[in-house]
Amino acid sequence: MHKQLKVIGLVGSLLFGGATITLSAGEDPYAEPSPKYLRQFDEQGARTFVLERFDAAGKLVGRSMEKLDENVEIGGPVQRTIAGQRVSLRGLTACPTENVVYNRVQTWSCVDAARDYADAVYNRRASVILCKTLVLTPSGGEAIPASCFVLVGGKGEPFKTVNDDDSMVFLGLASIGRTEDGRSRRPDLEPSQSLSRTMGFQHAD
């Protein structure tokens, strides 16, 4: 379901905590990165927050990295505050209904279910958090629209990428936004939204 980035060549490097970070050629600004790509930013014993900025042509033009000491704040299905940076998961609308079927059998408030799930991923399992945005210069105090991906695993568990955008849609905690003329803002997530509805993850109201 998810398209993964493939590291196809060194086009530069950055130094972070003594580790050399390779850059991928031809990156899609919103494609799901592979665990191998995310592990480039991993530091033992610390979580790392990476923010990548892309221009309109899809070229990576900026990257910031910092150690993350405090918890990620989960404001709801699409709101995240990471290292002081407010993020809104791009193209998504929170809470199709006030209550949702969570864990397929329990009725929860949509916001509480999102906080429970995302807190476990971001604050208890993450080693690297990568968000990608097309916003080159954010306005002061405004949330940036971004797609966020989390590296989990290690200590005997295989590394994998958790796609936050996809997870919120699949769990029925967020819906895909539409343009004024009715077009999908996230056609890449339409299959996940359809699967969610057939499996009964949402609409407990």
Q: CA 40 to CA 103: how far, in whole Å?
A: 33
Q: CA 114 to CA 38: how far, in whole Å?
A: 23
pLDDT over 90, % of the chain = 55
- Token digits of residue 203: 């609409």
User: pLDDT value at position 192?
Assistant: 81
Q: CA 78 to CA 173: how far, in whole Å?
A: 9
Q: pTM for this one?
A: 0.82
CA atoms within 13 A on the CB side of 162: 19
Q: Which residue has the higher pLDDT, 15 or 71?
A: 71
Domain carrying residue 194: 13-199
Report yes or no on 205 lying in a domain: no
Q: What is the arithmetic mean of pLDDT over 124-152?
A: 90
CA atoms within 13 A on the CB side of 190: 7
For the chain, the domain total comes to 1
Helix (H) or strand (E) holding 162: strand 157-163
User: pLDDT value at position 24?
Assistant: 55
- The answer on pLDDT for 7 being more than 60 is no
Among 12-21, 45-54, 104-113, where is mean pLDDT lowest?
Answer: 12-21
Report yes or no on 93 lying in a domain: yes
Looking up residue 111, the CATH number of its domain turns out to be 2.40.50
